[in-house]
Amino acid sequence: MRHRKRGRKLGVSPSHRKAMGRNMIQALIDQERIVTTVEKAKQFQPLAEKIIHLGKSDSLHNVRRAVKLGGNRKLENEVVATETSGEGKEKVTKTRSIARTTVQKLFRDVGPRNKDRNGGYTRIIRMARTRTGDNASQCIFELVESRAPDGEPYTKVEKK
């Protein structure tokens, strides 16, 4: 019987499970959208929600807690913001780096985007196809307030 047994073992050791969760959350913050199995997404969604909630306020205490929960590593793609000022010949375009690490992106980009949201920062969208090797059910695990590189939202949700 599984009474009062929480969580999924996912077929790996506890240390592997902890490392897998950290890697998954870091990839989610870096890329804002990942494809994984439904079981892994359901297991690590509460951890992602907690880390993103910490990213909403930039006190030093919350930064340290986020690093402890999610780890700290370099981004695969540096986050750069472009700003234009002036018109005509005086038009100047400046690019500045917003973040170089996952924690910086969490506190400078992802956290402020979710300032008005009281939870529900991530979504799990089940995919129709299964993984070829082991027939595992797959899903898209993404941030709700995520943006594609062209600036449009990944998943368009119509409000009623």
Task: Name the least confident of 14-28, 39-53, 88-102, 105-119.
Answer: 88-102
- Cβ distance 49 to 157 under 8 Å? no
pLDDT at 14 over 80: yes
pTM: 0.84
- Sign of the Cα torsion 86, 87, 93, 99 reads positive
Per-residue confidence (pLDDT) for residue 156, from 0 to 100 = 66
Q: Are strands 33-37 and 122-130 parallel, antiparallel or unpaired?
A: unpaired
Q: Please state which architecture CATH assigns to domain 14-75+101-143.
A: Alpha-Beta Complex (3.90)
| Paired tokens of 3 | 């009474």
22 contact partners, CB below 8 Å, separation of at least 6: 69, 70, 71
Say how far residue 68 (Cα) sits from the centre of its chain. Answer: 16
